[in-house]
């Protein structure tokens, strides 16, 4: 079993898609060990609780400075012995220490076709506002590994989505979630679970 932790800041529709894929058996070999948020009010935590997944909050508000928060975040995650950390709308800059502790073990979903509309300042609706302002006809979503930069790690999966006349950022965001994000994030987790399984079978041979 690939032990997965999901980090969230908001509504958690991507988390819900992962839960649904695991519960329905559409993805296999994956166990959801913890959902962690920086925001105690995140509805995503409620979604986790409803499905019996431990839901924890580590908020920067509870720590004197960023370093103390970063240490608490890392310490909390360590307790779950995770193989993979999934950033599903986690709007916190991942501390360097955490990237070093989990090399190629952290993935992120970003709501555009990287390298367009990504990097510092591009998150949530801002991404779709920028895409519409530029007038692109196609946008989409990307799942990538997390490295020390912002949205710069190796790309795992991408899916394109049409931009339509009259789209608002909200309408485009929803279409990209429905047609791309909710599919490629569980698919990427499955790919990684399959790779790990193959690697451990090869080791045991
Ligand atoms: C998603 O659209 C995700 O791609 C985006 O935040 C949203 C979270 O929605 N992430 C980023 O912008 C990261 N840079 P959700 O809480 O409903 O899954």
Residue-level pLDDT at 203: 87
In whole angstroms, what is the distance from residue 142 CA to residue 5 CA? 19
Residue-level pLDDT at 205: 84
Q: Calculate Rg over the CA atoms of the chain.
A: 17
Q: Give 129 Cα–ligand 1 centroid separation in angstroms.
A: 14
Residue-level pLDDT at 19: 98
In whole angstroms, what is the distance from residue 101 CA to residue 159 CA? 29
- Residue 198 β-bridge partners: none
Exposed / middle / buried, residue 51 (Cβ in 10 Å: 0-12, 13-18, 19+): middle
Summarize pLDDT for 166-205 with one digit per residue, the tens: 999 999 999 999 999 999 999 999 999 999 989 888 888 8
Residue 138 has a CB neighbour count (10 Å cut-off) of 11
The closest residue, in CA terms, to atom 16 on ligand 1 is 12
Instruction: Report the nearest atom of ligand 1 relative to the CA of 173.
Output: 2
Residue-level pLDDT at 201: 87
Instruction: Report the nearest atom of ligand 1 relative to the CA of 11.
Output: 16
**Which positions of the chain have pLDDT values less than 70?**
none
């Amino acid at each position: 079993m690939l032990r997965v932790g999901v980090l969230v800041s908001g509504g958690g529709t991507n988390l819900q898609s992962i839960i649904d894929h695991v519960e329905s058996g559409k993805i296999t070999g994956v166990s959801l060990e913890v959902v962690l948020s920086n925001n105690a009010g995140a509805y995503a935590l409620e979604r986790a609780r409803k499905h019996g997944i431990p839901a924890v909050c580590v908020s920067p508000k509870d720590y004197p400075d960023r370093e103390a928060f970063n240490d608490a975040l890392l310490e909390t995650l360590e307790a779950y012995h995770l193989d993979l950390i999934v950033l599903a709308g986690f709007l916190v800059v991942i501390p360097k220490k955490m990237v070093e502790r989990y090399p190629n073990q952290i993935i992120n979903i970003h709501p555009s076709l990287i390298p367009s509309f990504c990097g510092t300042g591009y998150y949530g609706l801002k991404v779709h506002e920028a895409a519409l302002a530029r007038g692109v006809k196609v946008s989409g979503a990307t799942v990538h590994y997390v490295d020390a930069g912002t949205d710069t790690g190796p790309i795992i999966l991408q899916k394109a989505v049409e931009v339509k006349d009259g789209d608002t950022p909200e309408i485009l965001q929803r279409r990209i979630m429905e047609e791309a994000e909710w599919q490629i994030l569980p698919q990427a987790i499955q790919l990684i679970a399959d790779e790990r399984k193959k690697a451990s079978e090869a080791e045991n041979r």
